[in-house]
Amino acid sequence: MKILERGPGWNIQLRCTGKGFGGGGCNSLLLVEKDDIVAFIEKDMGGVTETSFGFRCPVCNTTTCVSESKIPSSIQSSKIVECEQRRAKVMRMEHNYDGLYSWYINIWNFL
């Protein structure tokens, strides 16, 4: 789809490179909006939390990392909340018999 005029709200032009997710992007130039951004929160054994942000290309489905400095802090914090809610949902699902299956579906929806 071609953008004729940008809508209101934050958006940014980014290229699909697969950076931070193993590379292999298709090099499409995309207009990325708030809804396209996903937060990834990783906690290591020592309890250190690392947060990163990315978007998934609609052309090739590759995820590309976006540096924090390019995303307004208000969007960053709302995405972190979404990620925590997603994680809470995954934790609950793990108690179900078919939890593993649901867990994969859940992750794939956001990668």
**Chain positions contacting Zn ion, by CB under 5 A:** 16, 25-26, 28, 57, 59-60, 62
CA 36, 45, 89, 107 torsion: positive or negative? positive
Distance in Å, CB of 55 to Zn ion, minimum: 10
Distance CA 103, CA 20 (A): 22
Smaller CB separation from Zn ion, 23 or 72: 23
Smaller CB separation from Zn ion, 60 or 107: 60
Q: Please give the helix or strand (H or E) that residue 54 lies within, else none.
A: strand 49-56
Smaller CB separation from Zn ion, 67 or 77: 67
- Cα separations in angstroms, 27 against 15, 60, 61, 97: 6, 10, 12, 41
Distance in Å, CB of 60 to Zn ion, minimum: 3
Distance in Å, CB of 88 to Zn ion, minimum: 30
